[in-house]
Structure 1
Amino acid sequence: MRRRQLLQALVPALAAPLAGCGFELRKEPEFQFRTLALAGFAPASPLARELRRQLERTPLQLLEDPNRAEVVLEARRDWRDKSAVVTTSAGQVREWQLRLSLDYQIRSAAGEILLPQTELRLARDMNYTESAALAKEQEEATLYRAMQYEAVGLLLRRLAAVRLPG
């Protein structure tokens, strides 16, 4: 009985320091500006579409006119590509590397550079067999969506780090 009472007294005392360890779930980014414009993206860019979708969840107002926005995210280059990494002696591809790339800069509407041209590169490897071509096509689309989602998360965190002068 005494051992049980001793354990009941010790467990809260030992657990108390762990409660203040500082762990906190990642929150939505907090921006130092209210309006943002996206420029330079291709009209049907899946990356721009995902970025717009994620920005709808934030308090930022997304403007079409870059001259009226406080901050402009300007895409210089936005592309995807796929290259063969492993092939057989007969020339059949056994592994692909999928890449998602974005070259961008962040500037004010007045043209002041807030973040110089930056390269964002993501890559995933995917094994391939011709007997499962349809499944591999779906896997490729899923990997591109995952890279796109990760790229947008990185962009949002970089936008949150932007500080307007003054």
Structure 2
Amino acid sequence: MKRRAALLSLSALALSACGFQLRGTGGRGVIPFKSVHLGAGTGGRLGTELRRYLRASDIELTAEPKNAEAVIDILSERQSRATISLNSQGRVRDYSIFYNVVFRVNDGSGRELIPSSTITLKRDLTFNESQVIAKEKEEEMLYRDMQSDVVQQILRRLSAVNRS
């Protein structure tokens, strides 16, 4: 029993020494703002996810931009797809889906903290005509995952803001 506890402690120490962190608030860094306002374009699913992560980080979400230390605006959000390859009958075999988000961050007085920035994510999918519904669900799931990735990237950029 003592040997198992010692081995477990040693494993935890080794993991922490190499910089390993569980996914969560620790992996995003510390956001240097106590209050944030979610402005233009944050009413959809992306905005909902941003709210959830900000609340989990104990950041106050303000109703008015002038009361916030940072204002996040989503300037555009777009999903698209492109064909990668066709089969011998000329039907789509593989395609890529893209998720493109343009955002900016200002302080409450309108000073630019993060200029208009673009995040573009891409995932590749194979298409199977006999599994159309399953492939549609897979595509929806990939878009949700890409939204989560975009939120993580926005929060990482927010944590890197130099407020001086």
- Within 5 Å, give how 1:103-122 maps onto structure 2: 103-122=102-121
Counterparts in 2 of 1:94 and 1:162: CA distance versus 1, 3 Å: same
For 1:50 and 1:19, locate their aligned partners in 2 and report how far apart those are by CA, in whole Å: 29
| TM-score, length of structure 2 as denominator length | 0.80
| One-letter amino acid matched to 1:83 | A
| One-letter amino acid matched to 1:25 | Q
Going by fraction, where is helix more abundant, 1 or 2? 2
Aligned to 1:161: 160
| TM-score, length of structure 1 as denominator length | 0.80
For 1:148 and 1:41, locate their aligned partners in 2 and report how far apart those are by CA, in whole Å: 14
1:35/1:60 contact within 8 Å kept: yes
The Cα offsets for residues 25-80 of structure 1, whole Å up to 9 and x where unpaired, read as 1515312221101122163x221121112112011111232222111111111121
Aligned to 2:19: 23
For 2:16 and 2:103, locate their aligned partners in 1 and report how far apart those are by CA, in whole Å: 39
Q: How many residues align?
A: 152
Q: SS of 1:23's equivalent?
A: coil
1:33/1:164 contact within 8 Å kept: no
Counterparts in 2 of 1:129 and 1:164: CA distance versus 1, 3 Å: same
1:83/1:98 contact within 8 Å kept: yes
| One-letter amino acid matched to 1:31 | I
Residue identity over aligned pairs, in percent, reads: 28
For 1:91 and 1:84, locate their aligned partners in 2 and report how far apart those are by CA, in whole Å: 11
Counterparts in 2 of 1:71 and 1:127: CA distance versus 1, 3 Å: same
Deviation for aligned residue 1:140? 0.6
The Cα RMSD (Å) is 2.5
For 2:95 and 2:67, locate their aligned partners in 1 and report how far apart those are by CA, in whole Å: 43
Q: SS of 2:67's equivalent?
A: coil
Q: SS of 1:115's equivalent?
A: strand
For 1:79 and 1:138, locate their aligned partners in 2 and report how far apart those are by CA, in whole Å: 18
Unaligned 5+ runs, structure 2: 1-9
Aligned to 1:141: 140
The Cα offsets for residues 106-150 of structure 1, whole Å up to 9 and x where unpaired, read as 111111111111111101000001111011011111111111111
